[in-house]
């Protein structure tokens, strides 16, 4: 059965937090994986990161990592100095992921996360070329540390370069490396794809990780819009046995809500731990 995880920010208002309590919580709730925003740990001490790794080992929880690159580290930038800064940053984070026992690093690694985009930025062909050339340089480090870098297909409001499974495949085919793979996310797929199953079939064995959640970013099983039977049948059809990570955002306020445009309380006063466990059981049931 696939390992199942949850994103630590489900319980938080701000990304930068002590992640150790959430590693313990994930283990207590029965999750196999906790996903963490990589930049949160980038400037932490070696001692703190050692304690993070120890907590993960003690709870038998795998740590996976995500990221949205900033504009000053955009590997698709016209400015070669900005691209070089981004390449160096990605390589440093890959080393950190390995240091923490991780193998999975996903997100908008290919460009700067977040709208609005200037009109002169919308030359997709030029950005694609610069980004893939930069990512090819990163792959030596990814291979050395055996970390899969998964390019996330996101909705049109968050980036312009990779919105669909087809565009993600075009990107990874151009990079052409075993450690350059794809992250799909049901939230983004619901906006951009014509078919969940066809998108998953198109990606096939290049699917490096899979985010699951409702169309409004609640945990899976809390809505009626996403065709979960179709989604789970498709991952079985393509033989995907990798990570399934919930990425729910339900708490307003703070930098997380600002970044993902959450303007109301979706938690509705419920016990978040109980809802996470319900989502875990929902996922296991669909995998059985």
- Per residue in 112-163, pLDDT (tens digit) is 998 667 666 678 999 999 999 999 999 999 999 999 999 999 999 999 999 9
Catalytic residues: 152, 247
- At 247-285, the pLDDT tens digits run 999 999 899 988 888 899 899 889 999 999 999 999 999
What does the pLDDT read at residue 91? Answer: 99
User: In three state form, how does the secondary structure of 34-85 look?
Assistant: EEEECHHHHCCCHHHHHHHHHHHHHHCCEEEEEEEECHHHCCCCCCHHHHHH
What does the pLDDT read at residue 3? Answer: 99
Query: Residue 4: pLDDT band by 50, 70, 90 thresholds?
Result: very high
DSSP string of 18-29, one letter each residue: --HHHHHHHHHH
Cis before 258 (ω within 30): no
How far apart are the C-alpha atoms of 162 and 216, rounded to whole Å? 21
What does the pLDDT read at residue 272? Answer: 97
What does the pLDDT read at residue 115? Answer: 62
What does the pLDDT read at residue 259? Answer: 87
What does the pLDDT read at residue 268? Answer: 87
pLDDT averaged over every residue in the chain: 96
Residue 16 CB-half CA count within 13 A = 5
What does the pLDDT read at residue 120? Answer: 62
Taking residues 67-79, what's their average pLDDT?
A: 96
Which contiguous run of DSSP H or E holds residue 155? none
For 242, residues 6+ apart whose C-beta sits below 8 A from its C-beta are: 2, 3, 207, 208, 209, 210
Relative to beta strand 62-69, strand 4-7 is: unpaired
Tokens at residue 127, please? Answer: 């950005």
Is there a contact between 244 and 208 (Cβ–Cβ < 8 Å)? no
Residue 35 has pLDDT above 70, yes or no: yes
- Give the residue among 80, 37, 68, 6 at the shortest CA–CA distance from 276: 6
How far apart are the C-alpha atoms of 160 and 114, rounded to whole Å? 10
Where does the chain show beta strands of DSSP type E?
A: 4-7, 33-37, 62-69, 104-112, 148-152, 180-185, 207-212, 244-246
Taking residues 41-70, what's their average pLDDT?
A: 98
- In the chain, domain spans: 4-287
How far apart are the C-alpha atoms of 75 and 159, rounded to whole Å? 14
Taking residues 225-231, what's their average pLDDT?
A: 97
Residue 242 has pLDDT above 90, yes or no: yes
Taking residues 48-74, what's their average pLDDT?
A: 98
What does the pLDDT read at residue 119? Answer: 63
| No. of helices (H) and no. of strands (E), the chain | 11, 8
Lowest mean pLDDT among 78-87, 96-105, 115-124, 165-174: 115-124
How far apart are the C-alpha atoms of 115 and 197, rounded to whole Å? 28
How far apart are the C-alpha atoms of 70 and 60, rounded to whole Å? 32
What does the pLDDT read at residue 117? Answer: 72
How far apart are the C-alpha atoms of 140 and 149, rounded to whole Å? 11
- Give the residue among 149, 114, 158, 112 at the shortest CA–CA distance from 131: 112
What does the pLDDT read at residue 121? Answer: 61
CATH placement of domain 4-287 = 3.20.20.150
What does the pLDDT read at residue 114? Answer: 80
Taking residues 234-238, what's their average pLDDT?
A: 98
- At 88-123, the pLDDT tens digits run 999 999 999 999 999 999 999 999 998 667 666 678
């Amino acid at each position: 059965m696939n390992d199942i995880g949850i994103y630590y920010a489900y319980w938080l208002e701000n990304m930068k937090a002590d992640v150790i309590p959430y590693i313990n919580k994930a283990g207590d709730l029965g999750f196999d994986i906790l996903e963490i925003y990589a930049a949160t740990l980038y400037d932490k001490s070696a001692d703190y990161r050692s304690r993070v790794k120890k907590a993960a080992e003690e709870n038998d929880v795998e740590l996976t990592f995500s990221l949205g690159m900033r504009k000053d580290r955009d590997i698709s930038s016209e400015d070669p100095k900005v691209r070089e800064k981004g390449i160096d940053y990605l390589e440093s984070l890959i080393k950190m992921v390995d240091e923490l026992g991780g193998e999975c690093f996903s997100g908008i690694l290919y460009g700067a996360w977040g709208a609005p985009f200037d009109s002169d930025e919308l030359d997709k062909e030029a950005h694609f070329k610069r980004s893939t050339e930069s990512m090819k340089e990163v792959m030596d480090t990814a291979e050395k540390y055996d970390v899969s870098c998964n390019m996330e297909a996101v909705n049109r409001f968050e980036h312009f370069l990779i919105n669909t499974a087809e565009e993600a495949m075009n990107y990874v085919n151009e990079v052409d490396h075993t450690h350059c793979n794809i992250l799909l996310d049901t939230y983004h797929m619901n906006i951009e794809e014509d078919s969940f199953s066809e998108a998953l079939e198109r990606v096939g064995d290049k699917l490096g990780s899979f985010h699951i959640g409702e169309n409004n970013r609640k945990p899976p099983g809390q809505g009626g819009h996403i065709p979960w039977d179709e989604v789970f049948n498709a991952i079985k059809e393509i033989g995907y046995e990798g990570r399934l990570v919930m990425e729910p955002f339900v708490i307003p306020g703070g930098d997380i809500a600002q970044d993902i445009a959450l303007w109301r309380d979706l938690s509705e006063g419920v016990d978040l731990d109980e809802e996470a466990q319900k989502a875990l059981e929902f996922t296991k049931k669909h995998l059985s």
